[in-house]
Amino acid sequence: MQRRRQRGMTLVELIVAFTILMVLTTMAVPLARYKVQRDKERDLERALVQIRNAIDKFKDDMDAQKIGPAKLDSDNYPESLQQLVDGIKATGSVDKKNKYLRRIPKDPMTNSYEWGLRSDRDDPTSQSWGGQNVFDVYTKSMDKARDGTSYAEW
């Protein structure tokens, strides 16, 4: 008797193939989550640096009287983040405005354009804004970073 050549996989081969796929999948999912988290952290750092540099540049220009006049209680810091985007009139110019941001960056942790704000008169760890000026920004996310620190402390 001659056996015909059978095509296909046996049950054991199928079980082994699925087991290998499951092991590979269980290893890939945490790596993908780690990469997504790392990318969000990198984007958060970039956004914070961008906003903080704009605030510092605004303060420097206000102190040098290149722009103005300053609001009485602002200590030469911007009144809002939107003021960094809209710009402020250059000193001695009729229509020229100095702008410090093209747009307010999106917070990658909360996926919104809402940032936590701190005044120079607020407590450095405060989660509420006094409203006098914008001295610093932070994310409103309550999550923890990979190193255990809160994202709001960055």
**Residue-by-residue DSSP string for 55-79:** HHHHHHHHHTTSB-PPPTTSTTS-S
Q: Is residue 6 part of a domain?
A: no
What is the rounded distance in angstroms from the CA atom of residue 78 to the CA atom of residue 87?
10
Q: Is residue 51 part of a domain?
A: yes
What is the rounded distance in angstroms from the CA atom of residue 91 to the CA atom of residue 132?
22
Number of Cβ atoms within 10 Å of the Cβ of 140: 15
The rounded mean pLDDT for the chain is 87
pLDDT digits (tens, 9 = 90+) for 73-109: 778 899 999 999 998 888 887 788 899 999 999 999 9
Strands 88-89, 136-138: pairing is unpaired
Q: Is residue 25 part of a domain?
A: yes
Supply the Cα-derived Rg of the chain in whole angstroms.
27
Q: Is residue 5 part of a domain?
A: no
Report whether the peptide linkage leading into residue 108 is cis, meaning its omega lies within 30 degrees of zero: no
pLDDT digits (tens, 9 = 90+) for 8-30: 778 888 899 999 999 888 888 88
Section 42-62 average pLDDT: 95
Predicted model pTM: 0.78
Q: Is residue 111 part of a domain?
A: yes
- DSSP-based three-state secondary structure for 111: coil
Q: Which domain holds residue 33?
A: 11-153
Confidence of residue 124 (pLDDT cuts 50, 70, 90): confident
How many structural domains are present in the chain? 1
Q: Is residue 39 part of a domain?
A: yes
The C-alpha angle 48, 50, 54, rounded to 5 degrees, equals 115
Q: Is residue 17 part of a domain?
A: yes
* Spatial contact of 115 and 137, defined as CB atoms under 8 Å apart: yes
